[in-house]
Amino acid sequence: MAHPHDRIQENERVSRDRNREELIYAVLSLPVEFDQRLKRLVGILNDLPDIYTCSSCGGHPDLENRENPVPEGYFYIQLIIEPTEDGFLSLGIIDLAARTVDPDKLVVKVLNTTDSPRLVMFHILGRDGVDPDAVAKEIRSLCRTWGVSLHGVREYKKNVRRRLAAERIRQSPLRDEPGRPQS
Protein backbone atom coordinates (compact mmCIF):
# COMPACT_ATOMS: atom_id res chain seq x y z
CA MET A 1 0.00 0.00 0.00
CA ALA A 2 1.35 3.44 -0.94
CA HIS A 3 2.14 5.81 1.86
CA PRO A 4 0.42 9.25 1.62
CA HIS A 5 3.82 10.96 1.64
CA ASP A 6 4.86 8.95 -1.44
CA ARG A 7 2.28 10.75 -3.57
CA ILE A 8 3.85 13.22 -5.96
CA GLN A 9 1.81 16.33 -6.67
CA GLU A 10 2.21 18.02 -10.01
CA ASN A 11 2.72 21.76 -9.52
CA GLU A 12 2.45 24.47 -12.10
CA ARG A 13 5.82 26.19 -12.50
CA VAL A 14 5.61 29.94 -12.06
CA SER A 15 7.97 32.89 -12.16
CA ARG A 16 9.56 33.55 -8.76
CA ASP A 17 8.76 37.27 -8.52
CA ARG A 18 6.03 37.98 -11.01
CA ASN A 19 3.42 35.32 -10.32
CA ARG A 20 1.05 37.20 -7.98
CA GLU A 21 1.18 40.37 -10.07
CA GLU A 22 0.58 38.41 -13.27
CA LEU A 23 -2.45 36.68 -11.77
CA ILE A 24 -3.90 39.89 -10.34
CA TYR A 25 -3.42 41.61 -13.69
CA ALA A 26 -5.07 38.72 -15.51
CA VAL A 27 -8.13 38.50 -13.24
CA LEU A 28 -8.62 42.26 -13.42
CA SER A 29 -8.21 42.35 -17.21
CA LEU A 30 -10.08 39.34 -18.54
CA PRO A 31 -13.86 39.08 -18.75
CA VAL A 32 -15.13 36.99 -15.85
CA GLU A 33 -17.68 34.25 -16.31
CA PHE A 34 -19.35 32.59 -13.37
CA ASP A 35 -22.43 30.52 -12.71
CA GLN A 36 -25.50 32.59 -11.90
CA ARG A 37 -25.81 30.74 -8.57
CA LEU A 38 -22.57 32.41 -7.43
CA LYS A 39 -23.28 35.96 -8.64
CA ARG A 40 -23.78 37.54 -5.20
CA LEU A 41 -20.93 35.67 -3.51
CA VAL A 42 -18.42 36.36 -6.30
CA GLY A 43 -19.54 39.99 -6.29
CA ILE A 44 -19.06 40.50 -2.55
CA LEU A 45 -15.70 38.71 -2.63
CA ASN A 46 -14.51 41.05 -5.38
CA ASP A 47 -15.69 43.99 -3.28
CA LEU A 48 -13.43 42.94 -0.37
CA PRO A 49 -10.07 44.67 -0.05
CA ASP A 50 -7.12 42.71 -1.48
CA ILE A 51 -9.22 39.69 -2.57
CA TYR A 52 -9.25 38.54 -6.21
CA THR A 53 -11.48 35.70 -7.42
CA CYS A 54 -9.84 33.51 -10.07
CA SER A 55 -12.27 30.74 -10.91
CA SER A 56 -15.48 29.19 -9.70
CA CYS A 57 -18.16 26.59 -10.30
CA GLY A 58 -21.72 26.64 -9.00
CA GLY A 59 -22.28 22.92 -9.52
CA HIS A 60 -23.73 21.09 -12.51
CA PRO A 61 -25.79 17.95 -13.03
CA ASP A 62 -23.72 17.19 -16.16
CA LEU A 63 -19.97 17.25 -15.42
CA GLU A 64 -18.75 16.25 -18.88
CA ASN A 65 -16.99 18.78 -21.11
CA ARG A 66 -16.58 21.29 -18.29
CA GLU A 67 -13.39 22.67 -16.81
CA ASN A 68 -12.98 21.82 -13.10
CA PRO A 69 -16.66 21.11 -12.42
CA VAL A 70 -18.29 20.15 -9.14
CA PRO A 71 -21.58 18.25 -8.85
CA GLU A 72 -24.95 19.90 -8.44
CA GLY A 73 -25.45 21.15 -4.87
CA TYR A 74 -21.74 21.96 -4.51
CA PHE A 75 -19.76 25.08 -5.34
CA TYR A 76 -16.26 26.45 -5.14
CA ILE A 77 -14.59 29.79 -5.64
CA GLN A 78 -10.84 30.04 -6.01
CA LEU A 79 -9.18 33.29 -4.91
CA ILE A 80 -5.91 34.96 -4.13
CA ILE A 81 -5.30 37.30 -1.27
CA GLU A 82 -2.65 39.95 -1.16
CA PRO A 83 -0.47 39.51 1.95
CA THR A 84 -1.53 42.78 3.54
CA GLU A 85 -3.38 43.61 6.74
CA ASP A 86 -6.54 44.28 4.69
CA GLY A 87 -6.08 41.02 2.79
CA PHE A 88 -5.81 38.97 5.98
CA LEU A 89 -8.78 40.80 7.53
CA SER A 90 -10.80 39.98 4.40
CA LEU A 91 -9.69 36.33 4.59
CA GLY A 92 -10.68 36.23 8.26
CA ILE A 93 -14.13 37.59 7.41
CA ILE A 94 -14.57 35.00 4.66
CA ASP A 95 -13.57 32.19 7.01
CA LEU A 96 -15.77 33.44 9.85
CA ALA A 97 -18.74 33.77 7.47
CA ALA A 98 -18.26 30.17 6.29
CA ARG A 99 -18.04 28.88 9.87
CA THR A 100 -21.09 30.93 10.89
CA VAL A 101 -23.31 29.87 7.98
CA ASP A 102 -22.52 26.14 8.18
CA PRO A 103 -19.19 24.80 9.44
CA ASP A 104 -20.08 21.27 8.29
CA LYS A 105 -20.87 22.22 4.69
CA LEU A 106 -18.51 25.15 4.08
CA VAL A 107 -14.76 25.32 4.30
CA VAL A 108 -12.08 27.82 3.38
CA LYS A 109 -8.85 26.05 2.48
CA VAL A 110 -5.39 26.77 1.17
CA LEU A 111 -5.09 25.67 -2.43
CA ASN A 112 -1.54 26.00 -3.62
CA THR A 113 -1.17 24.39 -7.02
CA THR A 114 2.09 26.09 -7.96
CA ASP A 115 5.71 25.40 -7.11
CA SER A 116 5.98 28.79 -5.40
CA PRO A 117 5.28 29.55 -1.75
CA ARG A 118 4.91 33.20 -2.82
CA LEU A 119 1.61 32.47 -4.56
CA VAL A 120 -0.69 30.91 -2.00
CA MET A 121 -4.23 30.54 -3.24
CA PHE A 122 -7.39 29.73 -1.34
CA HIS A 123 -10.77 28.31 -2.15
CA ILE A 124 -14.19 28.28 -0.60
CA LEU A 125 -15.91 24.92 -0.89
CA GLY A 126 -19.62 24.45 -0.31
CA ARG A 127 -21.44 21.11 -0.38
CA ASP A 128 -24.79 19.46 0.20
CA GLY A 129 -26.86 22.37 -1.11
CA VAL A 130 -25.42 25.10 1.13
CA ASP A 131 -26.56 28.51 -0.11
CA PRO A 132 -23.79 30.78 -1.47
CA ASP A 133 -26.15 33.77 -1.06
CA ALA A 134 -26.23 33.10 2.69
CA VAL A 135 -22.42 33.31 2.73
CA ALA A 136 -22.53 36.59 0.79
CA LYS A 137 -25.07 38.01 3.23
CA GLU A 138 -22.94 36.96 6.22
CA ILE A 139 -19.79 38.49 4.69
CA ARG A 140 -21.64 41.78 4.20
CA SER A 141 -22.85 41.67 7.82
CA LEU A 142 -19.36 40.91 9.14
CA CYS A 143 -17.92 43.77 7.09
CA ARG A 144 -20.28 46.15 8.90
CA THR A 145 -19.35 44.61 12.27
CA TRP A 146 -15.61 44.87 11.62
CA GLY A 147 -15.72 48.28 9.89
CA VAL A 148 -14.60 47.03 6.48
CA SER A 149 -15.82 49.38 3.77
CA LEU A 150 -16.72 47.84 0.44
CA HIS A 151 -17.35 51.21 -1.16
CA GLY A 152 -15.19 51.82 -4.23
CA VAL A 153 -13.00 48.73 -3.75
CA ARG A 154 -13.88 47.07 -7.05
CA GLU A 155 -13.37 50.35 -8.96
CA TYR A 156 -9.98 50.82 -7.28
CA LYS A 157 -8.96 47.31 -8.31
CA LYS A 158 -10.01 47.85 -11.94
CA ASN A 159 -8.62 51.36 -12.30
CA VAL A 160 -5.59 51.54 -9.99
CA ARG A 161 -4.50 48.07 -8.87
CA ARG A 162 -4.61 46.68 -12.42
CA ARG A 163 -2.31 49.47 -13.64
CA LEU A 164 0.03 48.92 -10.66
CA ALA A 165 0.24 45.19 -11.45
CA ALA A 166 1.13 45.97 -15.08
CA GLU A 167 3.88 48.38 -13.96
CA ARG A 168 5.30 45.84 -11.51
CA ILE A 169 5.32 43.14 -14.19
CA ARG A 170 7.22 45.41 -16.59
CA GLN A 171 9.76 46.44 -13.93
CA SER A 172 10.36 43.00 -12.43
CA PRO A 173 13.29 40.95 -13.77
CA LEU A 174 12.64 37.23 -14.04
CA ARG A 175 14.30 35.22 -11.28
CA ASP A 176 13.29 31.65 -11.87
CA GLU A 177 16.11 30.04 -9.93
CA PRO A 178 14.86 28.58 -6.62
CA GLY A 179 16.86 29.85 -3.68
CA ARG A 180 18.26 32.82 -5.57
CA PRO A 181 18.46 35.78 -3.15
CA GLN A 182 15.94 38.55 -3.54
CA SER A 183 17.24 42.11 -3.84
End-to-end CA distance of the chain: 46
Amino acid at 129: G
**pTM for the complete prediction?**
0.81
pLDDT in tens, 9-21: 455 555 555 578 8
pLDDT in tens, 123-164: 999 999 999 999 999 999 999 999 999 999 999 999 999 999
SS3 71: strand
Residues facing residue 76 across a β-bridge: 57, 125
Can you give the residue range of the structural domain that contains 90?
15-171
Q: Where are the alpha helices (DSSP H) in 10-131?
A: 19-29, 39-47, 85-101
DSSP letter at 36? G
Q: For residue 182, tell me if it sits in a domain.
A: no
Q: What's 151's domain CATH number? A: 3.30.1960
Tally of domains within the chain = 1
